Amino acid sequence: MLDQVCTKNCQQCNGYETCWGENFYSTYRELFDLLALAELYGEVNTKHIKGRLAKNCFQQFKLLTTVNHLFERCQSDYYWRRKLDESKSFLANQLQGMAQIINKLAVEVTADPEFRAEIESRLMTCLNRAGINIKEISVLGLGEQRVEIRVKQKSCNRKRECQYLMTPLMCQLLGEDYAVWERNCQLENSECSYCLTPVYPYEVRTVVCKLPKDGNDASGDDHALNELKDGHFVAILSDGMGNGNKAAVQSSATVSILEKLLESGVDRDFAVRMINSVLLLRSPEESFATVDLTLMDLYTGKTEFIKIGAATTYIKRGREVWSLKSTSLPAGILNSVDLERTVVQLQPGDLIIMVTDGVVDSKIEVGKEDWMIRALRQVEVVGPEALGEYLLNLARINQEGICKDDMTVIVLHFLEKELF
């Protein structure tokens, strides 16, 4: 940049020999200092020109204009080079994610072909003997010897044979409880199609309690609760930068993209890193959001907690309470993201409480997070609805009834499923 300043500003000047000949070292040092000031303050003016340069330079206004212009262009070039590098990384991550999806589909289709073929043959034989007209039946592996059954049959005129006839029959034939996951009843082409998946031994009851910051219509927090086909229950909570509509857009985009990626079957690490890339690329302005992800296996109770800059999560088991904290920065700040992961084996009756920082930080005293632990230890075992409202009300009381930040409480109650 120093060479460019000299070329554009000095070479045609009458004082060139004086500045860059007799006073070369002082000119070089003072011009270098001027560039450093431009980097520090964003631009320079006449008060920043010092020493011999201030006395001898015949074209100070042109010099300042040249330095400011070159520095602005240098910043712009750096920004777009960084964006290009991020875009390349984003594309590489996308290709990696596509590869994971294709690989997962291949595993579903090809895993244990003899096992799948045996089940398909046995089911088709039994159904034909029972006089049920099945056009097509296919079995896909879900892992750990669990299978998903897809069926096409003659239309039942919406009598729900899939639920009242096929489901009990499949349970009897396979020795495992099944339920209809999705159905497509079409009277026009006289064909029904539906999918049967194993019934999970566990379920989750949920409640969400939230309040926007006083004076705002929209909350900057967003969430999603969803049961995935592979037997996982996913809870996502995100807190956008600041509050109000701008924060709501950031958190909503974070939750929506993450939910869709997980539904498509991509690896959760890839999904979270993709969110980080999206937030980095979406705007030249600052754009970041926290990510709080809870994934429960409804077959085993094994639960994974992934946090990026998120507030503390609490687990309550009777009177016992423990917390899962995050020390990383939110997504969208750094090129690489630090995933903080914890795995917990849940027991029926456990309560998981996910909150945003507006709740935790409602106490401003030292050890402010301890108030949540004390409150959870003292409260009797109650349903998720009462507990969520109780914690949100306590947070408001901490701030004398004023919501100084968006507040969200999600309560997940892990239970054994009641089978009838």
Could you report the per-residue pLDDT of 279-316, keeping only the tens digit for each? 776 655 566 888 999 999 999 999 999 998 899 999 99
Mean pLDDT lowest for which of 60-64, 74-78, 98-102, 310-314? 98-102
Q: How many other CB atoms sit within 10 Å of the CB of residue 208? A: 16
Q: Which helix (H) or strand (E) holds 304?
A: strand 302-308
pLDDT digits (tens, 9 = 90+) for 6-22: 777 888 888 888 888 88
pLDDT of residue 143 exceeding 70, the answer is no
- For residues 249 and 239, give the distance between their C-alpha atoms in angstroms, rounded to a whole number: 10
When pLDDT is cut at 50, 70 and 90, the band that residue 188 belongs to is: low
Residue whose pair of structure tokens reads 């690489």 in the numeric block: 336
- For residues 110 and 288, give the distance between their C-alpha atoms in angstroms, rounded to a whole number: 40
When pLDDT is cut at 50, 70 and 90, the band that residue 37 belongs to is: confident
Q: Tell me the percentage of the chain whose pLDDT exceeds 70.
A: 86
When pLDDT is cut at 50, 70 and 90, the band that residue 236 belongs to is: very high
Mean pLDDT for 188-194 is 77
pLDDT digits (tens, 9 = 90+) for 201-218: 999 999 999 999 988 888
When pLDDT is cut at 50, 70 and 90, the band that residue 109 belongs to is: very low
pLDDT of residue 251 exceeding 60, the answer is yes
CA atoms within 13 A on the CB side of 309: 18
- For residues 252 and 239, give the distance between their C-alpha atoms in angstroms, rounded to a whole number: 9
Residue 300 confidence (pLDDT): 92
pLDDT of residue 54 exceeding 50, the answer is yes
Mean pLDDT lowest for which of 126-135, 295-304, 338-347, 369-378? 126-135
Partner residues linked to 344 by β-bridges: 303
The more confident residue out of 357 and 127 is 357
Joined together, the tokens standing for residue 201 give: 């031994």
Mean pLDDT for 79-86 is 69
pLDDT of residue 105 exceeding 60, the answer is no
Average pLDDT, the chain: 82
- For residues 31 and 77, give the distance between their C-alpha atoms in angstroms, rounded to a whole number: 22
pLDDT of residue 108 exceeding 60, the answer is no
pLDDT digits (tens, 9 = 90+) for 363-389: 876 566 688 999 999 888 678 999 999
